[in-house]
Amino acid sequence: MTVEIRPIARDEAVEFLRIVPGFAGTPSWEAEPPAWHSGLGIAPRFDEPASSEDLAKAAAGLCDVDRTRAAFVDGRMVGTSQMLSLEVTVPGAGPVPMGGLTAVGVLPTHRRRGLLRDMMRALIDDCHERGEALATLSAAEGSIYGRYGFGPATYQTRWELDISQALRPYRHEQHGRIELVDARTAKAAWPHLHDEVRQSRVGEVSAHHGLWDDRAARTGAWQYLLRYDDTGTVDGAAVYRTPWSPDPATAGTVEADWLEAASAAAYTDLWAFLT
């Protein structure tokens, strides 16, 4: 058995994505609420493998191809991994370079052979060579990564607020202007807002390639909010929806999927609007 760990070539991108769990159609189903599920219907559905058209589109937009590390056994690609070139804000130093681990997968037929270990070694060596002191990931199964030096930095949190128990003791006076806008208008405002917020928000990560396109292209009745200050500058944004449900326990629910604010006033106004 001949094993090779190397970056993929551009014309191998589709083959690479076929192994990545999300594109490969796994997990095919999970009971609600699984660990990666952040709300009712927010997480993507993995009902079936991605179509050829989906794979071709994703392959064309695949960034940091030189930072991929794929495992080949006897010339066949059987494992995938990648680092994204990102920044993360740390105390006292602001944004610093960081590697973002993603696209990790090994075919079930080739697990427990050390392929993931070899790919992780190659990726971490690459981080050292690039001067990245940190590498992070959002783990679907966190217990896998401790052996490579990763530890918990933060946890995903889901808040459920019963409005009948959340009466404000004061009358909120909105100081800025909140508008419902279309996805195109919102997407144009998000990058600048996020870059402003992340400069001082410890733990905030720079946007990866395609993030804003993905957020603006979600299916479902998502609503896009922008908050403007007195000068007309966008200083807050949120994405939410009000899905219909036949279950009385979840009827009348507002799902806030993402909210970001550059000022305390914007943060307060947006949450006051949503509640």
Q: Mean per-residue pLDDT for 50-72? A: 91
Contact 75, 44 (CB under 8 A): no
Rounded average pLDDT over 239-243: 89
Mean pLDDT of 176-187: 95
The CB-side HSE value for 260 (13 A sphere, CA atoms) comes to 19
Predicted local distance difference test score (pLDDT) of residue 212: 93
The domain segmentation of the chain, as residue ranges, is 3-148, 163-274
Across the range 165-182, mean pLDDT stands at 79
Calculate the dihedral angle through the C-alpha atoms of 87, 89, 95, 99, rounding to the nearest 10 degrees: -20
Q: What pLDDT is stored for residue 47 in this prediction?
A: 56
Strands 134-136 and 94-106: what pairing?
Answer: parallel
Question: Given this model, what pLDDT does residue 163 score?
Answer: 77
Tell me what pLDDT residue 82 has: 97
The DSSP bridge partners found for residue 181 are: 224
98, β-bridge pairs = 86, 134
Per DSSP, the residues of 155-171 read --------GGG---SS-
Bridge partners, 100 (sequence order): 84, 136
Instruction: State phi, psi for 118 to the nearest 5 degrees.
Output: -65, -40
pLDDT confidence bin for 66, thresholds 50/70/90: very high
pLDDT above 70 (res 56): yes
DSSP designation for 9: P
pLDDT digit string (tens) for 80-138? 999 999 999 999 988 999 999 999 999 999 999 999 999 999 999 999 999 999 999 98
Instruction: Provide the percentage of residues in the chain whose pLDDT is more than 70.
Output: 89
The Cα-based distances of 123 to 57, 88, 183, 256 in angstroms read 25, 18, 35, 35
Strands, E assignment, the chain: 3-6, 70-73, 76-90, 94-106, 134-136, 177-181, 223-228, 234-241, 255-261
pLDDT greater at residue 172 or residue 266? 266
Q: How far apart are CA 217 and CA 219, in angstroms?
A: 6
pTM equals 0.82
- Express each pLDDT in 201-230 by its tens digit: 999 999 998 889 988 987 778 999 999 999
User: Is there a contact between 263 and 229 (Cβ–Cβ < 8 Å)?
Assistant: yes
Q: What is the pLDDT of residue 93?
A: 87
CATH second-level architecture of 163-274? 3-Layer(aba) Sandwich (3.40)
If one looks up domain 3-148 in CATH, what number appears? 3.40.630.30
Instruction: Look over the chain and give the mean of its residue pLDDT values, rounded to a whole number.
Output: 87
Take residue 272 and report the two structure tokens written for it. 């006051």
What are the backbone dihedrals phi and psi of residue 178, each rounded to the nearest 5 degrees, phi first?
-110, 130
Identical fold at 3-148 and 163-274? yes
The answer to whether 123 touches 101, Cβ cutoff 8 Å, is yes
- Across residues 35-61, what is the average pLDDT? 66
Tokens 């019963």 correspond to what residue? 162
